Amino acid sequence: MASSKPVSELARATLLHLTELGLTPTPENYSMHYYKISGETPPEKLSQADNPCLEIMLLVRTSLDSITHTTANCASEIGKQNQEIRHSIDDLSAAQEKQEMLKILANIVEKANAIFGTVESSRNELLATKLSLDSLNAELQETRLQLNEDPLTGAQNRRAMDKILAREVALSIRTGARLSVTMIDIDHFKKINDDYGHDAGDKLLLHLTMVAKSVLRESDVLVRYGGEEFLLILPDSDTKGAEFVLNRLKQVIQKSPLIYNDKSIKITFSAGIAQLKPNENGHALTLRADAALYAAKDAGRNCFKLAAE
């Protein structure tokens, strides 16, 4: 049967219950125990794709409710205890007998100690909530990373690319720094899938990502643009710099083929290079790099082409 307790109280009880069980308040743990405690029927589960932040947002709200509840409770308890001490002090002033005075004094000390007890227990509840919030914060960082990352390779995804390109283009316009991009496409990737299987293709995409990351600068960004197509965003680089990076990637990838089921799978790639022109935006820059990539494919693959001005 569903509980008649207010949601904030149920939420607080759930968080405390998780702390008692030594469980991290992940959205999954929270949901499971919340519905056990409340007796409510869980709603149809939202998938991460629907809104990966929704459950975290709900948990943050719950934690905030819990803080409000704890602090309000603490203030009200202390108010009551304070009032009682005041009455005892009045009694003390009116008392005639030494024995009676000592009794009232002992009572005042006991009530003062009770105030410490109230503060201490609220402090423990707030600490439990703080731990929940810390854990949520870590979860949020993770979700934020996942939202920007391609799940297979860990490279940045198109969503992240739009933001990063816009930022880098704006920076380049403001500071006059050069900005280049290169569109990279693995040659005959379909054949690798066909010959060795889709899993080998996946491993190859991951392998290329790892190798590319190892030759890039910290400020360079690798984006998985599509299936086997990657975009490299190279701040502070002109076309010569971009060519240099691609040649280094080519050399390293030649020396490190993918080893899959004891077979060595060679990787070559084609690329198009474009440098940001005045009055150009990130989208137009990417399209020029893409057109140059097609020119490289037309020229026989395993080569790089510069985009038309």
Ligand X SMILES: Nc1nc2c(ncn2[C@@H]2O[C@H](COP(=O)(O)OP(=O)(O)OP(=O)(O)O)[C@@H](O)[C@H]2O)c(=O)[nH]1
Position among 158, 159, 167, 198 found at the interface with ligand X (CB under 6 A): 198
Minimum Å gap between C-beta 257 and ligand X is 16
Position among 10, 186, 222, 292 found at the interface with ligand X (CB under 6 A): 186
In the sheet that 221-224 helps form, which strands lie side by side, from edge to edge? 221-224, 229-235, 179-186, 269-275, 304-306
Minimum Å gap between C-beta 193 and ligand X is 5
User: Does 272 participate in binding ligand X (rule CB under 6 A)?
Assistant: no
CB distance 46 to 54 below 8 Å: yes
Position among 227, 252, 261, 263 found at the interface with ligand X (CB under 6 A): 227
Residue that the structure tokens 């990737």 belong to = 189
Distance from C-alpha of 30 to C-alpha of 23, rounded to nearest angstrom: 9
Query: For residue 156, what is the enclosing H or E element?
Result: none
User: Does 187 participate in binding ligand X (rule CB under 6 A)?
Assistant: yes
Distance from C-alpha of 130 to C-alpha of 25, rounded to nearest angstrom: 11
User: Does 307 participate in binding ligand X (rule CB under 6 A)?
Assistant: no
Position among 27, 201, 235, 272 found at the interface with ligand X (CB under 6 A): 201
User: Does 150 participate in binding ligand X (rule CB under 6 A)?
Assistant: no
User: Does 228 participate in binding ligand X (rule CB under 6 A)?
Assistant: yes
φ/ψ of residue 23, rounded to 5: -95, 140
Catalytic residue among 139, 228, 229, 309: 228
Minimum Å gap between C-beta 214 and ligand X is 21
User: Does 188 participate in binding ligand X (rule CB under 6 A)?
Assistant: yes
User: Does 39 participate in binding ligand X (rule CB under 6 A)?
Assistant: no
Q: Is 9 a catalytic residue?
A: no
User: Does 202 participate in binding ligand X (rule CB under 6 A)?
Assistant: yes
* 110-113 CB contacts, 8 Å cutoff, 24+ apart: 111/81, 111/84, 111/85, 112/85
φ/ψ of residue 46, rounded to 5: -80, 140
Position among 193, 256, 281, 302 found at the interface with ligand X (CB under 6 A): 193
CB distance 290 to 181 below 8 Å: no
User: Does 248 participate in binding ligand X (rule CB under 6 A)?
Assistant: no
Minimum Å gap between C-beta 228 and ligand X is 5
Q: What SS3 state is found at 264? A: strand
Q: Tell me the CA distances in angstroms from 118 to 9, 104, 276, 278, one per residue in order.
A: 18, 21, 64, 66
Minimum Å gap between C-beta 23 and ligand X is 35
Residues of this chain that interact with ligand X (CB under 6 A) are 152, 185-191, 193, 198, 201-202, 205, 227-228, 297, 301
